[in-house]
């Protein structure tokens, strides 16, 4: 019997809302799939396109950006930055051949552990159906950083 | 079978490889000229906004980005059905004229010139710009540098940058020039006319005054009787920036003239599986192979073919030289390919005269240098004369002006078939039974190629006196038969 | 040989603009001639690949390598010149980040070849495409194999220095030539290996003379659709200018010529991905909180991948589109 494909989802969550939502899901014993690996940012507005691209380049099948509801941002309005970046990123990634569903945005307050768990579960299944991303970068090795103008240089053996 | 591989071709823009196969008796069995590169502009321009074509396609060639910039700009204007204001036309053609001065200068003095000025059999160490300088004087170097500097100053003033101009946009230009710039441009232009005349005199003294060179130029080895094409204005005079493309048969009879939008009725491209470049030919005549003659669709597009397919030059000094050219060579059309070097200098003079004509037009400093397009973008063709051949850009866009399809026929591409023929003929003529294949022999093969100014006339001033060169000839078993070396430590 | 240190310049998948930029240093090129022996420079002199192969390892002091790695010949020569050179400089946008040829990474090689060999003017009824080895009656002749994706120089060999720009501006090239000659004379030291030379360490905005205020964009406009204020920041006026995410050093020539920066000087000092940083910046100045309105504003950027990665696709984090990896 073929092994089921287990998607790898990277979730960028914000310290004040969505990360706490994930936390409260955990302490409430609400199950959500281990396919998602959470990374905590202080604010969803800290989301940098490079984080998303690096996630895909390093094997993620999907990326979730999650932050406070519009109007509730701990830093007032930076989650709107996350929203704009998310919308523009999706368009650009589509041109690169990455399906729009592989980048998702979720607003979740600290109290919304149930919603967080449910959405992550839904998303994992959606990506499972979509299949692996299999992003080839022709031997990309995200290791030694040796004086490149962009700060990255892969030295091939 | 013995094989001589010349790899890479040198003193040109781009990459090329020549394979010469020898029969057992040392005569040439066949010669192949392959282009080993393809970057795919026609594919990756799809999806890009049309206004970026003038900037992106400049990177097809960094020696003549001005040509691609203008062809793409004209095509984008056509896509939007927008007529640019007269001052914008003047400015674009002024930039273009100054560009021609730099480009033809660098080709003659550093690329083509040495073969002529020093002679085709001159030692490799002398057959370069340094040898030219030693022969005719250090003052020349200064003039050449000044000509290039003047031209590139104009390109930067109007085009924004010295290499890869950026100011042409659909509807005109993003900026104009000030009165101070205009004055400086005029001063440089008048100097450029003197420089062009000086160059023609130099050619007359050193080349035309030398019987051996004249015999070489007029000889049959470098001669091919093919169709000629070139852009002409409404008076059938040579124009680099705008007009219709005139097509003239090997006897000089005009087959017709076509506007940019009609090019697909005239030009088609033949394909071979052993090279990445295609071979354009005249559709109305048909592809008959790599052969000369009225029944063969092979044509060439160079300064010489431009002179052949026009009725004259639009400026007085150049016109006088045009008449002298044909009188000396026995009438129109001329087919000896080495005379392209001379034709190029006549164009240099015309470009300088045109430079002054345009910069002294009262509208050149007008601030009416652009108009905003109002029509829906769709499809358009832009044609200019690149220094090394007629350049065609054709774009289709969607209603947002995003490119959906592109077709480019680039300057030197026009000449791929005749260059192949010229190389083969030179190889056949110089590499014969019993002949030791020396470096000078191989250079004569490359001279056939170089006459067409294949896209890059590199004016380096730092060619060394002692270039390492090794030619290894191996037999069919791969064993070394002969090795020619110089300056290889 | 004269005993002067050896110099080489090579072009891979290139356009020749870098060579012209070197020539546009005018009299400075005579200093190169005075201080070096040029041993390999296909555009200018007749040394062939065989001559480079015959050279001793590390016998060339300085090699300027421009052009991207598009095919196996480009990579082969990159390895060859790395072996024969003490200092290898990735010169120009193509060698540092892939350059314009890197745009081909948004589609794939098969599509590229098919397009070129089936254009409207191409006469190809048998659907011929080029063969890397072709049997002629006299023998086999070959052309290089085109790779699935364009690479930058440092993706195939270790590189000592990076000099960005398309092309690097001539005044910057002249400054670098001066520095190298000073080093030869023992009057200066080379920067640390891996450094970017001939460029600034800020962004183009620093060199741009236009006035900048807070940006609140309600609409992105294409340059042909309106006449911008010549004194105000272009991005502020809704024209997509890449200057904020592009390394300084060029003098902001394009904004000075009233057109937006196209990003040819590549990523800024601490940026792992030029296009990504530009996307961040552009998204951040959008003046809307309503997703539907934002989408409408984004319609004014019809080609984000091409516009953000114009010169840096091959050097970006994703390198190439999914299509590039398909056969």
Encode pLDDT of B276-303 as tens digits. 889 999 999 999 999 999 999 999 999 9
Residue of A nearest to C105 (CA): A96
Residues of A in contact with C195 (CB under 8 A): 147
Residues B119 and B131: their CA atoms lie apart, in Å, by 10
Q: State phi, psi for B34 to the nearest 5 degrees.
A: -110, 145
Which residues in chain C (129-188) have CB-CB distances under 8 A to chain B? 129-131, 134, 136-139, 141, 143-144, 146, 166-167, 169-170
Q: State phi, psi for C239 to the nearest 5 degrees.
A: -95, 130
- A148-157, B409-418, C12-21, C214-223: which has the highest mean pLDDT? C214-223
pLDDT number for residue B320: 98
Question: Between chains, do B37 and C122 touch, taking CB under 8 Å as contact?
Answer: no
Residue C47: band (very low, low, confident or very high) from pLDDT cuts 50, 70, 90? confident
Helices (H), chain C: 17-23, 28-35, 49-54, 72-84, 92-97, 109-116, 170-184, 204-207, 253-256, 274-284, 291-298, 304-308
- Which two tokens mark B363? 């509208």
Sequence-ordered list of residues with C-beta below 8 angstroms from that of B261, at least 6 positions apart, any chain: B78, B381
Average confidence (pLDDT) over A121-143: 79
Query: How close C110 gets to chain A, by Cα (Å)?
Result: 16
Question: Between chains, do B462 and C36 touch, taking CB under 8 Å as contact?
Answer: yes
Residues B410 and B389: their CA atoms lie apart, in Å, by 8
pLDDT digits (tens, 9 = 90+) for B351-376: 999 999 999 999 999 999 999 999 99
pLDDT digits (tens, 9 = 90+) for B155-212: 999 999 999 999 999 999 999 999 999 999 999 999 999 999 999 998 998 888 888 8
Distances (CA, A) of B358 to B91, B270, B322: 8, 39, 21
Residue ranges of the domains in chain A? 9-130
Residues A126 and A131: their CA atoms lie apart, in Å, by 9
Cα dihedral B63, B66, B70, B73 sign: positive
Percent of chain C with pLDDT over 70: 99
> C232 - beta bridge partners?
C211
Residues of B in contact with C60 (CB under 8 A): none
pLDDT number for residue B124: 63
pLDDT number for residue B486: 45
Residue C260 has pLDDT above 60, yes or no: yes
Say if C31 is an interface residue toward chain B (CB within 8 Å).
no
Question: Between chains, do B44 and C104 touch, taking CB under 8 Å as contact?
Answer: yes
Say if B51 is an interface residue toward chain C (CB within 8 Å).
yes
* In the block, residue with structure tokens 């620093």: C206
Number of cross-chain residue pairs from A and C with Cβ atoms under 8 Å apart:
132
Which residues in chain B (300-339) have CB-CB distances under 8 A to chain C? none
Other C-beta atoms closer than 10 Å to the C-beta of C218 total 12
Q: How remote is the C-alpha of B54 from its chain's centroid?
A: 19
For the domain bounded by A9-130, which CATH number is listed?
3.40.50
> A43 - beta bridge partners?
none
> B34 - beta bridge partners?
B17
- Which two tokens mark C200? 């600034």
Average confidence (pLDDT) over C54-83: 95
User: Complex ipTM, two decimals?
Assistant: 0.95
Residue C66 has pLDDT above 50, yes or no: yes
**Please, what are the domains in chain B?**
2-37+417-462 (no CATH), 41-372 (1.10.645.10)
Task: Tell me the HSE value of C308 on the side-chain side, using a 13 A CA sphere.
Answer: 29
Query: How close A129 gets to chain C, by Cα (Å)?
Result: 19
The pTM for the full model equals 0.91
Residue ranges of the domains in chain C? 6-98+150-184, 111-143, 204-324
Question: Between chains, do C27 and B145 touch, taking CB under 8 Å as contact?
Answer: yes
Report, in this order, helix, strand and coil percent for chain B, each rounded to 5: 45, 20, 35
Residue A144 has pLDDT above 60, yes or no: no
Which residues in chain C (202-241) have CB-CB distances under 8 A to chain B? 222-227, 230
What is the rounded radius of gyration, in angstroms, for the C-alpha atoms of chain A? 16
Question: Between chains, do C155 and A149 touch, taking CB under 8 Å as contact?
Answer: no
Average confidence (pLDDT) over C177-194: 92
Distances (CA, A) of C247 to B281, C49, C262: 45, 34, 11
pLDDT number for residue C319: 92
Average confidence (pLDDT) over A145-156: 35
Residues of C in contact with A84 (CB under 8 A): 283-284, 286, 288, 294
Q: What kind of fold does domain C6-98+150-184 have according to CATH?
A: Rossmann fold (3.40.50)
pLDDT number for residue C257: 97
- DSSP code for B376: P
Residues of C in contact with A81 (CB under 8 A): 283-284
Strands (E), chain C: 6-11, 37-40, 60-66, 69-71, 85-91, 122-123, 133-136, 139-142, 146-151, 161-163
pLDDT digits (tens, 9 = 90+) for A76-129: 999 999 999 999 999 999 999 999 999 999 999 999 999 999 999 999 999 999
Cα dihedral B280, B282, B287, B293 sign: negative
Residue C314 has pLDDT above 80, yes or no: yes
Question: Between chains, do A149 and C308 touch, taking CB under 8 Å as contact?
Answer: no
Helices B179-203 and B86-106 meet at what angle, rounded to 10?
A: 40
Answer whether B386's CB lies under 8 Å from B89's CB.
no
Residues B205 and B202: their CA atoms lie apart, in Å, by 5
């Amino acid at each position: 019997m073929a092994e089921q494909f287990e998607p790898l989802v990277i979730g960028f969550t914000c310290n004040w809302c969505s990360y706490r939502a994930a936390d409260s899901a955990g302490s409430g014993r609400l199950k959500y799939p281990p396919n998602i690996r959470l990374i905590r940012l202080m604010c969803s507005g800290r989301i940098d396109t490079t984080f998303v691209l690096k996630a895909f380049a390093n094997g993620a099948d999907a990326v979730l950006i999650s932050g406070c509801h519009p109007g509730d941002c701990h830093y007032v309005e930076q989650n709107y930055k996350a929203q704009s970046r998310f919308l523009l990123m999706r368009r650009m990634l589509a041109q690169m051949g990455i399906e729009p569903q592989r980048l998702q945005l979720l607003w979740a307050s600290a109290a919304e552990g149930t919603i967080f768990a449910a959405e992550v579960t839904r998303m994992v299944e959606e990506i499972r159906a979509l299949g692996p991303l299999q992003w080839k970068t022709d031997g990309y090795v995200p290791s030694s950083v040796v004086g490149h103008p962009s700060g990255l240089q892969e030295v091939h053996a | 079978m013995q094989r001589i591989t010349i790899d890479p071709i040198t003193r040109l823009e781009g990459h090329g490889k020549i394979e010469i196969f020898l029969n057992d008796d040392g005569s040439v069995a066949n010669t192949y000229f392959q282009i080993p590169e393809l970057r795919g502009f026609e594919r990756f321009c799809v999806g890009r906004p049309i206004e970026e074509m003038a900037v992106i396609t400049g990177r097809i060639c960094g020696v003549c980005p001005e040509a691609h910039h203008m062809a793409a700009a004209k095509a984008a204007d056509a896509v939007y059905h927008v007529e640019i204001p007269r001052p914008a036309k003047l400015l674009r053609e002024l930039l273009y004229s100054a560009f021609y001065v730099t480009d033809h200068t660098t080709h003659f003095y550093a690329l083509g010139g040495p073969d002529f000025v020093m002679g085709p059999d001159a030692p490799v160490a002398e057959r370069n710009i340094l040898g030219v300088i030693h022969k005719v004087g250090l003052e020349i170097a200064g003039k050449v540098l000044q000509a290039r500097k003047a031209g590139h100053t104009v390109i930067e003033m109007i085009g924004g940058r010295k290499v890869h101009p950026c100011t042409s946009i659909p509807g005109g230009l993003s900026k104009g020039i000030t009165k101070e710039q205009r004055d400086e441009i005029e001063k440089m232009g008048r100097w450029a006319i003197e420089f062009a005349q000086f160059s023609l005199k130099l050619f007359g003294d050193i080349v035309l005054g030398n019987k051996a060179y004249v015999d070489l130029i007029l000889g049959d080895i470098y001669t091919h009787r093919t169709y000629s094409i070139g852009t002409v204005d409404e008076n059938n005079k040579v124009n680099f920036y705008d007009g219709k493309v005139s097509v003239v048969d090997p006897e000089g009879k005009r087959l017709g003239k076509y506007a940019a939008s009609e090019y697909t009725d005239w030009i088609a491209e033949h394909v071979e599986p052993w090279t990445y470049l295609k071979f354009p030919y005249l559709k109305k005549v048909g592809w008959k192979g790599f052969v000369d003659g009225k029944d063969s669709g092979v044509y060439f597009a160079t300064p010489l073919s431009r002179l052949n397919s026009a009725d004259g030059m639009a400026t007085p000094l150049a016109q006088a030289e045009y008449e002298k050219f044909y009188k000396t060579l026995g009438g129109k059309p001329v087919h000896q390919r080495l005379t392209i070097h001379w034709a190029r200098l006549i164009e240099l003079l015309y470009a300088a005269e045109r430079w002054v004509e345009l910069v002294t037009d009262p509208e050149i400093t007008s601030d009416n240098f652009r108009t905003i397009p109002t029509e829906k973008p769709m499809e358009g063709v832009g044609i200019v004369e690149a220094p090394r051949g007629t350049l065609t850009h054709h774009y289709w866009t969607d209603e947002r002006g995003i490119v959906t399809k592109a077709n480019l026929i680039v300057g030197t591409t026009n000449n791929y078939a005749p260059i192949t023929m010229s190389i083969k003929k030179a190889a056949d003529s110089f590499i014969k039974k019993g002949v030791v294949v020396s470096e000078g022999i191989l250079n004569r093969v490359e001279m056939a190629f170089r006459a067409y100014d294949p896209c890059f006339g590199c004016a380096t001033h730092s060619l060394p006196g002692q270039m390492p060169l090794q030619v290894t000839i191996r037999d069919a078993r791969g064993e070394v038969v002969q090795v020619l070396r110089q300056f290889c430590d | 040989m004269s005993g002067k240190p050896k110099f080489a310049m090579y072009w891979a998948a290139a356009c020749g603009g870098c060579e012209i930029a070197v020539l546009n240093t005018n009299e400075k090129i005579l200093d190169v001639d005075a201080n070096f022996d040029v041993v390999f420079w296909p555009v200018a002199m007749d040394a062939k690949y065989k001559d480079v192969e015959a050279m001793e390892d590390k016998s060339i002091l300085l090699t300027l390598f421009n052009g991207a790695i598009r095919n196996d010949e480009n990579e082969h020569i990159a390895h060859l010149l790395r072996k024969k050179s003490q200092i290898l400089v990735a010169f120009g946008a193509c060698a540092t980040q892939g350059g314009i040829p890197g745009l081909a990474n948004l589609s794939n090689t098969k599509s590229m070849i098919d397009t070129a060999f089936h254009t409207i003017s191409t006469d190809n009824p048998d659907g011929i495409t080029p063969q890397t080895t072709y049997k002629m009656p006299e023998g086999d002749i070959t052309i290089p194999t085109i790779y699935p994706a364009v690479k930058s120089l440092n993706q195939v060999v270790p590189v000592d220095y990076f000099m960005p720009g398309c092309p690097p501006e001539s005044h910057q090239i002249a400054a670098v030539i001066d520095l190298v000659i000073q080093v030869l004379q023992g009057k200066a030291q080379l920067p640390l290996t891996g450094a970017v030379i001939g460029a600034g360490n800020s962004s183009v905005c620093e060199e741009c003379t236009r006035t900048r205020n807070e940006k609140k964009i309600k609409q992105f406009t294409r340059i042909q659709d309106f006449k911008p204020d010549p004194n105000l920041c272009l991005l502020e006026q809704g024209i997509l200018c890449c200057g904020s995410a592009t390394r300084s050093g060029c003098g902001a020539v394009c904004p000075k010529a009233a057109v937006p920066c196209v990003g040819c000087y590549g990523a800024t000092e601490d940026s792992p991905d030029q296009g990504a940083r530009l996307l961040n910046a552009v998204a951040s100045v959008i003046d809307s909180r309503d997703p539907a309105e934002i989408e409408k504003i984004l319609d004014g950027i019809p080609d984000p991948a091409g516009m953000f990665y114009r010169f840096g696709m091959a050097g970006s984090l994703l390198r190439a589109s999914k299509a590039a990896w398909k056969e």
